[in-house]
Chain A
Amino acid sequence: MSNNLLIVKNLTKSYKKFNNKFLAMLNVLFFNSLKNYQQHTVIENISFSLKKGESLGIVGLNGAGKSTLLKIISGVTLPTSGHFISNGTISAILELGIGFNEEFTGRENVYAAPLFQNLSKKQIHKLSYEIFEFSELGKYIDEKVKVYSSGMRMRLAFSLATSVSPDILIIDEALSVGDAYFQHKCLERIRDLKEKGTSLIIVSHDKQVILNFCDKAILIDKSKQKMIGNPIKVLDTYNALISGYAPESFSKNDFITKKIQSGSKKAKVTNLSIINLSSIKDKKIYVGDYIKIVIELKVDEIIDDLVVGLMIRDKYGNPIYGTNTFHQNIKLGKLKKNSNINISFSFKANLGPMTYSITTGLHSTDGHLAGNYEWTDSLLYFKVEEKGNFFIGSNFLDAKVNIDDK
């Protein structure tokens, strides 16, 4: 037990919500014993432990509950159930601030920092000098904090929170605000602290930060602790989560973004799947793999002239490639009511490493506006990964490079 710096056990946080203000006030008068509230759970049963010097990364989509977890550990929010024990000092940079007084100057805020309450004047003086140096705020250190930009606040907050080596340093997204130069400086400082034995708890969307600094990672998805362990494995699962599929399956049931659908629904896509023809075993798609996209569809009414189209977009929504059965000179013929057909598009995935979305269109003649049966944007996401040859861009042109003349 004694070598555990932080033990978090079954931490759950839920917010009570009353239908109106008066019920909430009545609840006060009844000493918080009213029961007719709605409960909104933000994190559920989070458990982990941290040994001295060990660092933890927390990943998850926006709204998963990462920040709430950090707030509880740093003590500014109380958990609904569960508990945590920490055997060391905690310094936290939460949402770009550590409680600055807006009316005070940067310098005054540093001198009045609660972090320094147990230190002597001399020590504070020495530390504050280091803080001013490190933050490089120049003359702004004597301006009121309310005129600071978010980057400047972050500079001061980071410099202050890391000035004494805490046992645990909590960093919530703070690094993403600073400019490139200061980010480097921060990372260096973090590395320094880590070497001195500080445990880090980092929330970041920057994969590299997690991989570089953390000994383990937690993936929080929809308030629950989905995975804990090796950062590489956790990040893989996280990536799969953002690209819309879990590594085990390619089924369309796993996508996360809301699809945008239109059309008369005379014909419907019932399933969409991707098969990697280059390697059946490996569920990943690498640059240059042969893949087959299979559209399974169902016709609800008799249709004479069905055209099935497919479009691939990159993550910014730019169309990368699109075609349909009409342009490919494939006639589907007269389709009976309640018939099922599968259409597949096979191609070499000469795409850059990125996530792509698939849009499907079922319509009558060429040009989908004439008779739109079903049009679904972003029905499925897939990710193309780099294999060996590094290149940039969304097209793998497979250039051959020669020295033609000397």
Chain B
Amino acid sequence: MGGLWSIIHPIIMITIYTLIFSHVMKIKIGLPDQEPIDYSIYLCTGIIFWNLFSELSTTTINIFYHYSSIYKKIPIPIPVFLVINTINSIISFLPIFIIFTAYLLLLNKFPASGFIFIIPLLIFQIFFTISFASILAVLNVFNRDIYHFYSVFLSLLFWLTPIVYSINIIPSKYHYLLALNPIYSFIENYHKIIVFNDSIDFHKIIFIFFISLILITIFIFLFKRLKTEILDNV
């Protein structure tokens, strides 16, 4: 069935979250007049963008090993694979995103006003993901435990990010801790656009963008210094 899976998977996911979760788990997400379907949208929004983050970061960390059979046989500049891998991730993200958008249109919940802001947010999110994951990728060449450690860390981070639950269940004195979770800054904004019809908080995003710039500069420098070592150790 090949490509059909990339459509079936999100449809099943959205259906499950709609039918089961929004009825079984009656979580208040903070909307004044919350319908059961709203939690489903909240959940889907978080998970879709989280999955992009999780998929892109894990594949990026493993990038030097994943493409080694090619660049060890043909001389190709290795950073090309960072681009290829990112494009791959975006391509597998698109069907899910399009189906989710269709689902919103179907429910008449399409956030017409803020929808366009999803695109810059996505770009910043992807840029941030690549910037830190590529540094971990260099480390992973020398110790493959990094990859496994990151996978464990990621499942922990998932539950530390308000995706399944709402920020309201966390006592407000701990809210400042969430600021330390950069991926939440993105998820929070997607929630604002899609679920709450709220305006975006770009401050944190710009801050993260500068962090990403620094990280990617570090990566470029690291890669230049360690290119030979990377080729020798993979």
Contacts and interface: CB of A to CB of B under 8 A. Distances in A.
The judgment on whether A and B are partners is: yes
A76 B226 contact: no
Interface size class of A (residues with CB under 8 A): 20 to 34
A53 interface: no
Interface in A258-280: none
Contacts of B229: 16, 27, 32
Interface string B127-153: 000000000001100110110000000
Given A28-B226, A78-B227, A99-B69, A114 B143 contact: no
Interface string B191-234: 00000000000000000000000000000011001111101110
B143 A76 contact: no
A25 interface: yes
B143 A22 contact: yes
A140 interface: no
Contacts of B142: 18, 21, 24-25, 27-28
Given A21-B143, A78-B227, A31 B221 contact: yes
Contacts of B138: 28
Nearest to B218: A31
Interface residues of B, number: 24
A212 B71 CA distance: 32
Interface string A120-164: 000000000000000000000000000000000000000000000
A176 interface: no
Most chain A Cβ neighbours within 10 Å, of B70, B221, B226, B231: B70
Interface stretch (B72-80, B92-100, B157-165): B72-80
Contact of A16 (B73, B145, B232): B232
B75 A75 contact: yes
Contacts of A80: 228
A77 B68 CA distance: 12
B contact face: mostly helix, strand, loop, or mixed: helix
Interface in A49-78: 74-78
Contact of A76 (B73, B225, B233): B73
Contacts of A28: 138-139, 142, 222, 226
A76 B72 contact: yes
A98 B73 CA distance: 5
Nearest to A24: B142
Nearest to A80: B228
A78 B143 contact: no
B139 A25 contact: yes
B148 to A, nearest CB: 13
16 contacts: A21-B143, A24-B142, A24-B233, A25-B143, A27-B142, A28-B226, A31-B221, A76-B74, A78-B227, A78-B228, A97-B69, A98-B73, A99-B69, A99-B70, A99-B74, A102-B69
